[in-house]
Amino acid sequence: MGKLKTIVEKQQILPLQVNSGRCGFGHFYQSLAIKDEQIVSAWQEIKTHHEELHRLGQEVMTHIWHKKYEQAKAKYTQAIANRLKFFSRLTKF
């Protein structure tokens, strides 16, 4: 999120991992096979929030590329809100 913040503040494209399967958490997530029925749906919810973070990062980059800085900032704000949901769900384990 720090790099995404820098991208928005500086209004410039920087390297950012937008593939949710290639970041550190993505590798960790994919390495686990959750079979406990009590947590499968929660684990899927975490995946959904994680993928959304990467999608929003891509959207921020696209808006920066097209010099739509207000839209980029709005997507960054959405990413912050989504990150809070992600960590809230993750810390319930």
Report pLDDT for 29: 87
Q: Is the pLDDT of residue 89 over 90?
A: no
pLDDT tens string 46-58: 899 999 999 999 9
Annotated domain spans of the chain: 37-93
Q: How far apart are CA 83 and CA 66, in angstroms?
A: 25
Q: Is the pLDDT of residue 92 over 80?
A: no
Q: Is the pLDDT of residue 7 over 70?
A: yes
pLDDT tens string 17-34: 999 999 988 899 889 888
Query: Which amino acid is present at 2?
Result: G
**From the CB of residue 23, how many other CB atoms can be counted at a distance below 10 Å?**
17
Report pLDDT for 93: 65
Among residues 88, 27, 17, which one has the least CA distance to residue 53? 17
Altogether, the residues listed in the chain come to a count of 93
pTM equals 0.86
